[in-house]
Amino acid sequence: MRPCGRTLHLSQAPPMPMCTTSSDVAHIVTSQTESHNGGDVMDYLRRMQMERPLLFWVAMAVTFWVAFQLVLFVVGLLIGPFGLPSWAPILVVLGALVLIARRQQR
């Protein structure tokens, strides 16, 4: 969300030209040419990996652990009513990861 004079940009679509001053119009033209592909986040992560590698890898490990736990929880909710053993969600998640990895090898 970026302010432009009296215009507020809420999406990545080109803004409607509602500003009347030349500086506002110049801001609209330059903001339309900016890329919004998340490159800033990747640059920040690369910089953090170079400057603080321990913090980067701890954050990555925690992120992957939380994501794996969340996926296990969701799979457990989905297959829980079938009365399968408690290790079944782990098998389903690992099987899905193997299928994804094999599909990417092709």
Place of tokens 């009296």: 6
Instruction: Kindly state whether residue 14 falls inside one of the protein's structural domains.
Output: yes
CB 51 within 8 A of CB 28: no
Instruction: Kindly state whether residue 44 falls inside one of the protein's structural domains.
Output: no
Q: Which of 70, 4, 52, 63 is nearest to 32 (CA)?
A: 4
Per-residue pLDDT at 70 exceeds 90: yes
Residue 87 DSSP one-character state: T
Question: Model confidence over 15-35: pLDDT tens digits?
Answer: 555 545 555 555 554 554 555
CB 24 within 8 A of CB 1: no
Share above pLDDT 70 across residues of the chain, in percent, rounded to a whole number: 64
Give residue 12's pLDDT: 61
The better pLDDT of the pair 103, 35 is held by 103
Share above pLDDT 90 across residues of the chain, in percent, rounded to a whole number: 49
Place of tokens 């969600």: 89
Q: Do 99 and 58 lie in a common domain?
A: yes
Q: Phi and psi dihedrals of 69, rounded to 5?
A: -65, -40
Helix (H, G, I), strand (E, B) or coil at 106: coil
Report the number of distinct structural domains present in the chain.
2
pLDDT band, residue 13 (cuts 50/70/90)? low
- pTM for this structure? 0.55
Q: Do 57 and 101 lie in a common domain?
A: yes
Q: Do 28 and 59 lie in a common domain?
A: no
Q: Would you list the DSSP string of 12-41?
A: SSPPP----SHHHHHHHHHHHHS--SSHHH
Distance CA 9, CA 7 (A): 7
